[in-house]
Amino acid sequence: MALHTEIERGPECPPDRQPPSPVESDAHARRRWLRLLGVAFSVAILALSIYVLVHTIAAVNWSDLRAAFAATGWNQIAIAVLFACFSYVALAGYDALAVRQLSLRVPWRTTALGSFASYAISFTLGFPLITGGTVRYWIYSQAGVSAAKVASLTVIAGVTFWLGMALVIGFALTFQPGSIAEINKLKVWVNLMIGLGILAGIGAYLIYVSRERRRIRIQGLNLELPGFRLTAAQMVLGVVDLCAAASVLYMLLPAGHAMEYVDFLAVYVFGCLLGIASHIPGGIGPFEMTMLKSVTTPTQEGLLASLLLFRAIYYIIPFVLALALIGANEAFRRWNALREAMRRADDEPPSGKL
């Protein structure tokens, strides 16, 4: 009888494991189709971005592009750099809130370095949960933080970003539905309803976390959600970060663009969303496509020069600086370890036979 039962199950199902139920099989099939749809959506965004960029670059006059670079004033670049610093300071606040939520005792220097390095590197390389989490673990583990706590910190910091993103998108769709309609080609009233729905969802989430302590499970991690005050702080930091990052590019736009900042912010956030959905490092391609199609400037060359300068200021320079800081931190740590070993060697009494 036992042999007969094992033959019916087949080689894939060992005797101590029951075959999946129809409900589990349906859930697995749905997850597989959702993954396939996500991949197809990312590929479609990438293909459209490449098409738009190729046609745009083909029509670029390179002498005009050089002139556009030359026309960008040093005052514009200086203010853009200042806003980039402001954005990265807000990003450091993401980690600071997560450290407080997890009740970790970490020096502020470690928090600042861990935040800046993880974001600067993950923005450029992509896959933030992997690259950002790895950099955070490298830095925070030196302060005695466990891998599980670093993973929790990374998730909480990610929630801060998405809360700020959701709030900005909700307001943009609610108060600037026409600007988004030019991009997503939806009716203005549809964007308005989506925006109101997002804001209502944020309000419901605030009520949900303010009534009592809430715990969720994400990727095998049991996390306690921040309460009302920390959640509100997360939203404020997220909005400040996005507004500062958008201001970097806004300050670099060529003269005569005639675009209000609020409209530009809505377009910027939508471009960021497309970049995230494409899973391309830095959102390069979809983000530029959104800007080139939505921001009106006297010349395409001027806008393209602004986008290239934005990439340099907000992505490339912080990436190089983050690598330098990580290298310097590692060298300093090893030097201190060597000095400590040498001091202990000097303090030990000489051993040997008389």
| Domain residue ranges of the chain, discontinuous segments joined by + | 30-332
Cα–Cα distance measured from residue 290 to residue 229, given in angstroms and rounded to the nearest whole number = 35
pLDDT for 234 beyond 50: yes
Cα–Cα distance measured from residue 150 to residue 153, given in angstroms and rounded to the nearest whole number = 5
pLDDT band of 4, cuts 50, 70, 90: very low
For 73-100, what is the mean pLDDT? 92
Inter-axis angle of helices 74-101 and 300-311, nearest 10 = 40
Q: What is the pLDDT at residue 16?
A: 52
pLDDT band of 5, cuts 50, 70, 90: very low
pLDDT band of 6, cuts 50, 70, 90: very low
pLDDT for 292 beyond 80: yes
- Is pTM beyond 0.85? Reply is no
Q: What is the DSSP letter of 315?
A: I
pLDDT: which is higher, 276 or 278: 276
pLDDT for 321 beyond 90: yes
Bridge partners of residue 223, in order along the sequence: 216
Which range of 120-129, 227-236, 269-278 scores highest in mean pLDDT? It is 227-236
pLDDT for 60 beyond 60: no
Cα–Cα distance measured from residue 297 to residue 136, given in angstroms and rounded to the nearest whole number = 40
pLDDT: which is higher, 127 or 86: 86
| Structure-token pair, residue 190 | 């549809």
pLDDT for 41 beyond 70: no
Q: What is the pLDDT at residue 24?
A: 55
pLDDT band of 101, cuts 50, 70, 90: confident
Q: What is the DSSP letter of 314?
A: I
